[in-house]
Amino acid sequence: MRLTGLLYLLIPIVSHHCSASPGILNGWLNTMKKFRDVFQFQDEWISQQSKISEDEYDFIIVGSGSAGSVIANRLSEVSDWKVLLLEVGKGENLFTSVPALAPVFQLTHYNWNYLMEYQENFARGMEGRRLAWPRGRALGGTSVINYMIYTRGNPRDFDTWAIAGNPGWSYYEVLPYYLKSERCRLQQFQEGFHNDQGLLGVENIYHSNVLDAFIAGGEELGYDQVDYNSDRQIGFSRIQANVIKGRRNSVAKAFLHPIRDRPNLRILTSALATKIIFAGNKAVGVEYTHNFLKFEAKARKEVIVCAGALASPQLMMLSGIGPRAHLNDLNIPVIADLPVGRNLHDHITYVGLNFLVNSTQTMSLPNVIKYFGEWAINGTGFDTSLGGVGGVAYIKTEVDENPDPSYPDMELLYVDGCLGSDAKITAETMRISEDSYNRYWRKIEGKPCWTIFPMLVHPKSIGYMELRSRNPTDHPKFYGNYLSDERDLRTMIAAIRFILTLAKTSKFKEYHTNFYDAPVPGCEYLTYDSDEYWQCAIETFSITLHHQVGTCKMGPNTDPEAVVNHNLQVYGVSNLRVADTSVIPKALTAHTNAPSIMVGEKASDIIKAAWGRLQ
């Protein structure tokens, strides 16, 4: 928090003085003016402006995140439906627009700051050996603090859902919903897989010279350059980003700003839903707190839970929908006995690879400041970099058991910069301990550097979550259970070896790429580069990439893990749906913002159809 406060103050000032150009300050002021609406889109403003303030609505949506914002937009298109959107967070500020500052917002009140429970043999290098599980708490949800990486997933992901007994969710049935949202301004893309008429910005961003080496390196190893958001995913690519003219395009900006004057939609921020109200087995409303007062809102038609994969299960369990034994332990009356909070899939990555280079184009705070003026005026340049992320690749490692040649088992995220590059901001978000940082990254601090994060896309290890108490403000208990299946470890090691090979390709050599091979703290006693060494390193410096899904799993009624059916209706009760990342049945070959937006688009049509209002 102290850090962010400082940045807010310093960036315009330093940026101005560094360049000694009055144009910069003018640009800054113009930007402030252009973004006036962002300042206006605040808490108090919304509550005052809301045209309706009643205690009865047709639909109540809990959570304004990637799915909830979309649903609020689409349902309020029906002018005689009254819609209430409840969100506990607040509106964005100007700085959430700067892509290069992406990591910073995890250190602010826009983050829920959840922590994973202690896991033996994991997070050894982290503060208190607890892993950060950040999550957005804002109008716009996690899309306000995420890295803006736009990925949809592999066709096989969705076909698997459909085959598992979820009609309507195959790749060619969900693709139209990805397209519906999209406002594509990419320079290069695969024809037939993009749309330029939607609301959600998808654009190219800053392109460093070392990123070219990443893509050339892929080619040298036999991988094509592809549009990874087409039906062909394996290959190397520049990142596609959720920005418009270089500014973050959160779901609040894409889906709520344009419709904030609709008279039939009430957006209430700083409102924490504490319980779904039932009459028998029928959901009839939501209990919430706002400004320390308790309220009840009635839903004539439906309650739609969009609080995300970590908070939707919490609200469900607090309301009596969850595993019977667990609810009994907490004396919560059971309304439906369902496996809520089980089946928690997540993506982990190893963050300990550092490659030193002689380029000046890698992530650093001086660079962010130096190029801030260009960003403010033109929306271009270094500060459009997604916190350093510029490239992505999908590969199949040599240990992959899946016979489908088009289905990757690893994603590689190319980052201009390492954990020693940005004044410890990223390291702090990851809770890297002071001691680990000093013993490992201190020696290369401030040196030009790049890294690749290998993301395990199809983990075999599955976690779960539970309530900590009946208090809705207590954070639940999260158990990642990472690497409990040995195949996951083998895939991670194979990916690291692939990256080491990639770093030796010719174009990387041109930048004098030099692998930093200091042993990871605590692993010095193992033979460097042996499998045992990498296991120790992975157990020390791996984190989540924040793609928790599956905690209110979608599945047929024959699936013992299912919580909702293919229409996202909760089993055993009526007038209640869940629509967000928690319904995604298993880990995707993707980051989860766009998939959740897709779920929101499809859920909206499902709901309109159910009430006879689908055009």
Ligand X SMILES: *[C@@H]1O[C@H](CO)[C@@H](O)[C@H](O)[C@H]1NC(C)=O
CB of 390 to ligand X, least distance (A): 17
Phi, psi for residue 546 in degrees, rounded to 5: 70, 35
Query: Is residue 194 annotated as a catalytic residue, yes or no?
Result: no
Q: Return the H-helix or E-strand segment holding 611.
A: none
Closest CA relative to residue 93, chosen from 201, 202, 198, 11 = 11
Q: How far apart are the C-alpha atoms of 207 and 220, rounded to whole Å?
A: 20
Burial of 159 (0-12, 13-18, 19+ CB in 10 A): middle
User: In terms of CB distance, is 204 or 250 closer to ligand X?
Assistant: 204
Q: How far apart are the C-alpha atoms of 392 and 275, rounded to whole Å?
A: 41
Q: Is 285 in the site for ligand FAD (CB under 6 A)?
A: no
Q: How many residues of this chain bind ligand FAD (CB under 6 A)?
A: 42
Distance from the first to the final alpha carbon of the chain: 47
Q: Is 377 in the site for ligand X (CB under 6 A)?
A: yes
User: In terms of CB distance, is 30 or 53 closer to ligand X?
Assistant: 30
CB of 101 to ligand X, least distance (A): 18
Q: How far apart are the C-alpha atoms of 235 and 207, rounded to whole Å?
A: 18
Q: Which does 146 bind (CB under 5 to 8 A by kind): ligand X, ligand FAD, none?
A: ligand FAD
- Identify residue 268 by its one-letter amino acid code: L
Q: Which of 12, 63, 217, 390 binds ligand FAD (CB under 6 A)?
A: 63
Residue span binding ligand X (CB under 6 A) among the ranges 261-269, 352-360, 436-444, 601-609: 352-360
Contacts of 22 by beta carbon, 8 Å cutoff, 6+ apart: none
Q: Which of 591, 602, 604, 607 binds ligand FAD (CB under 6 A)?
A: 591
CB of 517 to ligand FAD, least distance (A): 29
Q: Is 311 in the site for ligand FAD (CB under 6 A)?
A: yes
Q: How far apart are the C-alpha atoms of 344 and 347, rounded to whole Å?
A: 10
Q: Which does 452 bind (CB under 5 to 8 A by kind): ligand FAD, ligand X, none?
A: none
Q: Which of 40, 358, 402, 530 binds ligand X (CB under 6 A)?
A: 358
Q: How far apart are the C-alpha atoms of 4 and 26, rounded to whole Å?
A: 23
- Helix then strand count (H, E) for the chain reads 19, 25
User: In terms of CB distance, is 299 or 356 closer to ligand X?
Assistant: 356
Cα–Cα distance list, 86 to 83, 113, 360 (Å) = 10, 20, 45
Q: Which of 546, 553, 577, 602 binds ligand FAD (CB under 6 A)?
A: 546
Contacts with ligand X, 508-547, as mask; x by CB under 6 A: --xxx-----------------------------------
253 C-beta neighbours (distance < 10 Å), count: 27
Q: How far apart are the C-alpha atoms of 329 and 453, rounded to whole Å?
A: 40
Query: Which residues contact ligand X (rule: CB under 6 A)?
Result: 358-360, 373-374, 377-378, 510-512
Catalogue the active-site residues: 547
Query: Which residues contact ligand FAD (rule: CB under 6 A)?
Result: 62-67, 86-89, 106, 134-138, 141-143, 145-149, 151, 272-273, 306-309, 311, 315, 546-547, 580-581, 591-594, 596
